[in-house]
Chain A
Amino acid sequence: MGIRIIKAGMMTTVQDLGRTGYQSQGFPVAGVMDVRSFRIANLLLDNPENEAALEFTLIGPTLEFTADTLIAITGGDFQPTINGEPAPMYTAIYINKGDVLKFGSARTGSRGYVAFSCYLQIPVVMGSRCTNMKSSIGGFKGRKLQDGDYINFRIKRRYLRFFLSRTLDLDEFDQEDATLRVVMGPQDYMFSKQGIETFLNSEYTVTSDFDRMGCRLEGPFIARKEEADMISDGIAFGSIQVPAHGKPIILLSDRQTTGGYPKIATVASVDIPKLVQRKTDHKIRFKAITVQEAQRLYLEEMEELNEMRKKIHQPCREVLECRQTARRMRRLFEAQ
């Protein structure tokens, strides 16, 4: 009992927060690109924060359910429908056996997520269920999903307390320009003063060279101090490397574990979703903040997610009003 992939879409993979702890042995961390949307999808269903979900890019999949479950859809707007009727996003939805969930192309954003209350039956490889396509491990057979694939559910779970409260404000992804806050370093010292100024004061354009490994930007040349040799080092999620051609490349989930180009800055964790939800030709600007500021923003976002969790664990207003109504009616009966 699970989901049949009727149409796989452009790039649909099983992902979680990544295969951490093995980067030192050459394993890319992989994992979701837009961590925030992923977390919200799981949160809406009371799933563990790292439960595997499906991530899709630009053109979403069509899924047929062979069991009842609950789902939550987050991220960009892929115009989801269930049996042809528009389906709400950022909301827990009942799904009946036989229902068909269809995603179209991304009207806003570029990546979407769907989480399941019955959990996907995907083996844990080295601590994670995420797909690492380059090494062909994890996820569904180590690859992206194809038409006709079938994924079982692990458990039966179709009850959620406060079900009617389980809806949150939509994150909007319709803006075309984004300013990404960055922490300078680790190799900002290899760039000239002018190079740093160019980087922080120019507009860059997202090219079509944009996948789970990284995002190449087009724009003004970022000058280095001298052509000093750089020796390969480890790469963090959101590192902005600048090869000799002077154009930034932002390294993302499927990045190589180490690399030999100087990294001028690193995108703040809270702003990576803004980047990964952009499309080709969208504009990017960079703004430097301190590491303390970036960590404060990160903790604030975690607090915001906690607030969301609280919000969906309260009886919703309609339910409260409904009880009031019932009470009034009872009084009427008692009066008789």
Chain B
Amino acid sequence: MQNIKILTAGDSSLLVEFGKEISPEINQKIAATVRLIHDQNIEGVVDVIPAFCSLLINYDPRIIRYEQMKKRIEGLIRVDVRKGSQIRKIFEIPVLYGGEYGPDLPYIAQHAGLSEEEVVKIHSSSDYLIYMLGFLPGFCYLGGLDERIHTPRLANPRKKIPAGSVGIGGSQTGIYPLDSPGGWQLMGMTPVKTYDPSRKVPILVQAGEYIRFIPIDEPEYLRIQELVKNGEYECAIRYEKEEA
């Protein structure tokens, strides 16, 4: 990848630009670089923030200077990430679609010219790549929403969307990690907490991993909700080999 650029972002950060498009390949390269940085335990690195096609690295200039840092990163991005050797980590997120849990599902279906059942089937039948986290703690930017169910945002955003809401905003889908204002079309709710500050690991998922939505009914929703409340629920995780 010769078009990778290392750019200065002040005296304590540098930005690695891997390209100018949103693609799984670029994102995979970024996730691999993040892993390498963590594995190598570079002294002075404070935080590594992956985005769609870039990586911001915050560092402490008292410990490592710009030239050294740049050299280390140049070394890392030369490492070839072989395709086919990757294992997909897929979080199975249970979702109760429709009704009072997903008040905009009828609109999404109407906009797509499909039935609600078809929309749910489409939404829950692909693995979504987590391109990056941002906006709110634990908010995932997911890629791969089927074009048939792309739906414009609400003209008038809601003042409060409850944590756990699953929705569609334009070509994106995602989960609200905490109560927040927002303009996405809400199609369901998950009882799983993607963000829980009292948990040892507050954020469930990381960039580079995948999410799959699993439709559930109300009794199951209430059962999981109870387990989550008691700290007894563990999200199912599936591992799959990426096709070469």
Residue numbers of A with Cβ under 8 A of B are 20-27, 29, 125-126, 135, 137, 183-187, 231-239, 256-258, 263, 266-269, 291-292, 294-295, 297-299, 302
Contacts and interface: CB of A to CB of B under 8 A. Distances in A.
Contacts of B15: 185-186, 233-234
B105 interface: no
Nearest to B70: A291
B13 A236 contact: yes
11 contacts: A22-B203, A125-B197, A187-B7, A231-B20, A231-B53, A238-B10, A256-B135, A257-B135, A258-B51, A268-B10, A268-B11
A295 B46 contact: no
A186 B17 CA distance: 9
A12 B126 CA distance: 47
A26 B139 contact: yes
Contacts of B21: 231
Contact of B133 (A26, A125, A126, A266): A26
Contacts of B56: 23, 233-236
B113 interface: no
B178 interface: yes
A263 B49 contact: no
A125 to B, nearest CB: 7
Contacts of B13: 234, 236, 266
Interface in B170-195: 177-178
B123 to A, nearest CB: 23
B52 interface: yes
B218 interface: no
Contacts of A126: 197, 202
A302 B67 CA distance: 20
In this complex, the member of A24, A125, A294 whose beta carbon has the largest number of chain B beta carbons within 10 angstroms is A24
B10 A25 contact: no
Contacts of B132: 232, 258
A266 to B, nearest CB: 3
Given A26-B135, A186-B17, A235-B56, A295 B51 contact: no
A185 B54 CA distance: 14
B9 A236 contact: yes
A125 B202 CA distance: 10
Interface residues on B, range: 35 or more
Nearest to A259: B134
B207 to A, nearest CB: 7
A258 B47 contact: no
A322 B49 CA distance: 57
Given A24-B47, A137-B197, A231-B22, A256 B9 contact: no
Given A25-B203, A232-B51, A237 B62 contact: no
A234 B135 CA distance: 11
Given A234-B15, A298-B12, 19 more contacts: A20-B58, A21-B47, A23-B49, A24-B206, A25-B138, A25-B202, A26-B203, A183-B11, A185-B7, A185-B8, A231-B54, A237-B10, A238-B10, A239-B10, A257-B49, A257-B135, A269-B11, A269-B12, A298-B11
Contacts of B50: 24, 234
Interface in B1-47: 7-15, 17, 20-22, 34, 46-47
Contact of A21 (B11, B12, B46, B177): B46
A206 B112 CA distance: 47
B133 to A, nearest CB: 5
Nearest to B132: A258
A294 B12 CA distance: 9
Contacts of B177: 26
B8 A258 contact: no
Contact of A185 (B9, B55, B202): B9
Given A23-B47, A135-B136, A234-B54, A239 B11 contact: no
B144 interface: no
Contact of B49 (A258, A292, A298, A302): A258
Contacts of B67: 292
A294 B7 CA distance: 15
B233 interface: no
B169 interface: no
User: Sorted from nearest, which 8 A-B pairs have the closest CB atoms?
Assistant: A234-B56, A266-B10, A234-B49, A258-B134, A294-B11, A186-B7, A236-B13, A186-B15
B26 to A, nearest CB: 10
Nearest to B140: A26
Interface string B103-139: 0000000000000000000000000000011111111
Contacts of A24: 34, 47-50, 133, 206-207
Contacts of B46: 20-21
